[in-house]
Chain A
Amino acid sequence: MTSPLLELKQISVSFEGFLALRDLNLVLNQGDLRAVIGPNGAGKTTFLDVITGKVAPTKGDVIFKEKSLIGQKEFRIARKGIGRKFQSPRIFENLSVQENLALAVSRPKTPLSLLMNSLKVKHLDQIQHLMSIVNLQSKANIRAGALSHGQKQWLEIAMLVGQDPDLLLVDEPVAGLTDEETDLTADLLKSLAGDHTVLVIDHDMEFIRRLDCPVSVLHQGHVLKEGSMSDIQKDPLVIEVYLGKTDEEEQ
């Protein structure tokens, strides 16, 4: 068997004594699609922060393509092939859709190359392709800040894909989307898995169900349970700490 793409080993993160992550372990193989759910404050975003180098873990190791990521700068981790979508859409609002994507697909990402070379034809094609995936061709020259919330989410996902990462970390991609948009997003993420490894965080059970993939439940900084959605839903512990509560909250 080949070694996993990403492996989190005994990760702990302490914010001034408060343990946001406790001995977290997680393994992702090439091409996996994985969902992570958990109540608010479970540490979901924090664990993406650890992988992407934003937060240094107090303890433990992150192995990506057989090398440790600990202590690496964010942009280096991104260049190694990890793309991240933030919880609220973060795109460059004052640039057009096309310009946003151009920054994502540009390579090499050095000042000199940006200044001296114009975008390669292959990258221009890639931008067109990305816009067609997320249905933004007609908005190519629109300021990204003027897009609807859902379109912003999609633009950010398209930017991730444009970085051509091996691993996509997607934090709450359907927050604030309509049902129809949610379904389209689920299909989009499913189609990306295989070529990429995709990790999706969300609260929306309908959406997770539609992803139809293994689920990890995070609770108080720890993986409570891993399994298929139907296994998870039957688990009494999970129901107690999470599912039951969410249903109430949703009322």
Chain B
Amino acid sequence: MSIFSTKKSWINLTIWVLLIALIIAAPSVLPVFRLNLLGRYLSLAIVALGVDLIWGFTGMLSLGQGIFFALGGYCAAMFLQLNSAGEFPNGIPEFFGLYGVEKLPFFWEPFKSSIFTLISIWLIPAIIAGLLGYLVFRNRIKGVYFSILTQAALLVFFNFFNGQQKLINGTNGLKTDVTQLFGQMVGSEIMQRWFFWISAVLVILAWFFARWIVRDRFGNILIGIRDDEARVRFTGYNPVIFKTIIFSIAGGLAGISGALYTVQSGIVSPQFMTVPFSIEMVVWVAVGGRGTLLGAILGAVLINYAKSLVSEALPASWMFIQGGLFILVVTALPEGVLGWIRKDGPKKLLFLLGINKKLETYPSLEVNEQGEVKS
């Protein structure tokens, strides 16, 4: 992806300036309720970046990212619950009492440590994604079969988590908003402001990280796998390893995203692993623009913000609007909104509508020339 034309960098720069302006202005202009929503959507942008890496770049449509998202959320919630369990009977989280559990299940133990938790939030989803991915990729399962398989895995995880009352409170999930962190209630305004900032910074870091991955030959191999996997093999690369790594990275990003989302929405539950939610993640990336990274961020933030506004006004209609949006993008803007803007879409539209008299072609010629000169 070294063909970084000047026009493309201008568009990127503009979007970044707007995004950062929004992030900086938001805490002082938005009421805390809205700020909290924006923070949640920024955290969703991180899982979307992962979806873009595996789908937009590598061509693997995963419908199971909710697994890794939820795992990250559970890791964070388990720590927070333990961190504030002191006053409860047996010193373990309150919900255990409902099921007569008196001893903390063994796998909760390490989550007493904040460092373990901070690592496990991304490492556990990354390891599980890596293992799952390796098995699938080694057997050369691709395309639709891969998508179905990831969705099946999602259902397995959903049902498992749903049924484990005695271990993780089953379908009720784990609440975080009434837990304590640094002597503050996690759901308090001051904490939520902090989580907004953390989400904003982590989105930007995640973008840099993803950008670093796709920037050079590693990213080109991913694109090669997407476009012609056999060629990659005959060129001497092992696609299985590359796919496993990128799937694992996307899993890790999903975990971070899920943890941030959990602390800002106040609960993690198996609802994070429902089928529609994982599909929505794909829709954000498709609408924003596959293989653009920035498009994934835009898609996640804008669609979710639109969702919250529409749902407040017309509660029943969001599903239709989202479905319609997806169909519109797939048919009219197959490269997503950002891909469309980069390809002079707006100019062509103005031309079609008769607003712009003539289609100026020479500026893009100029860009091409520059592209050629620059190496």
Residues of A in contact with B (beta carbons under 8 Å apart): 52, 54, 73-75, 78-79, 83-84, 86, 90-96, 98-99, 102-104, 106, 109-111, 114-115, 118-119, 140-143, 159, 163
Contacts and interface: CB of A to CB of B under 8 A. Distances in A.
B227 A119 contact: no
B224 A92 contact: yes
Given A75-B237, A84-B234, A104-B235, A92 B217 contact: no
B236 A114 contact: no
A114 B235 CA distance: 14
Contacts of A98: 2, 375
A142 B245 CA distance: 29
A114 B234 CA distance: 17
Given A90-B228, A111-B241, A106 B375 contact: no
A106 B232 CA distance: 12
Interface in B222-270: 223-224, 227-228, 230-239, 241-242, 245
A95 B220 CA distance: 7
A96 B230 contact: no
A74 B231 contact: no
Contacts of A115: 213, 216, 218
Contacts of B371: 141
A141 B3 contact: yes
A119 B230 CA distance: 23
For the complex, would chain B's binding face be called helix, strand, loop or mixed by DSSP majority?
A: helix
Contacts of B312: none
A111 B237 CA distance: 9
Interface of B: 2-3, 213, 216-218, 220-221, 223-224, 227-228, 230-239, 241-242, 245, 371-372, 374-375
B223 A94 contact: yes
B217 A78 contact: no
Contact of B217 (A74, A75, A94, A119): A119
Contact of A94 (B216, B218, B227, B232): B227
Given A78-B234, A103-B220, A114-B217, 17 more contacts: A52-B234, A54-B230, A75-B239, A83-B234, A92-B227, A102-B220, A103-B235, A104-B235, A111-B221, A111-B242, A115-B216, A115-B218, A141-B3, A141-B371, A141-B372, A159-B235, A163-B236
B217 A103 contact: yes
A96 B228 CA distance: 15
A84 B241 CA distance: 22
A90 B236 contact: no
Given A111-B241, A111-B245, A96 B2 contact: yes
A75 B233 contact: yes
A74 B375 contact: no
Contacts of B239: 75
Given A52-B234, A141-B371, A103 B216 contact: no
A87 B303 CA distance: 45
B233 A102 contact: no
Nearest to A92: B224
Given A103-B221, A114-B217, A118-B216, A78 B228 contact: no
A119 B235 CA distance: 16
A96 B219 CA distance: 13
Nearest to A78: B236
A78 B231 contact: no
A92 B239 CA distance: 15
B231 to A, nearest CB: 5
Contacts of A78: 233-236
A104 B235 CA distance: 6
Contact of A92 (B2, B213, B228, B242): B228
Contacts of B217: 99, 102-103, 106, 114, 119
B240 to A, nearest CB: 9
27 contacts: A74-B233, A74-B234, A75-B233, A75-B235, A78-B234, A78-B236, A79-B236, A86-B231, A90-B231, A91-B231, A95-B223, A95-B224, A96-B3, A99-B2, A99-B220, A103-B235, A103-B237, A111-B221, A111-B241, A111-B245, A114-B216, A114-B218, A115-B216, A118-B216, A141-B3, A159-B235, A163-B236
A141 B231 contact: no
A83 B242 CA distance: 21
Contacts of A94: 223, 227
Contacts of A73: 233, 238
Task: Report which residue of A102, A103, A106, A140 has the largest number of chain B beta carbons within 10 angstroms of its beta carbon.
Answer: A103
B53 to A, nearest CB: 13
The 5 A-B pairs of least Cβ separation, nearest first, read A78-B236, A74-B233, A114-B218, A114-B217, A115-B218
A81 to B, nearest CB: 9
A196 to B, nearest CB: 16
A156 to B, nearest CB: 9
B221 A114 contact: yes
B238 A75 contact: yes
A94 B223 CA distance: 8
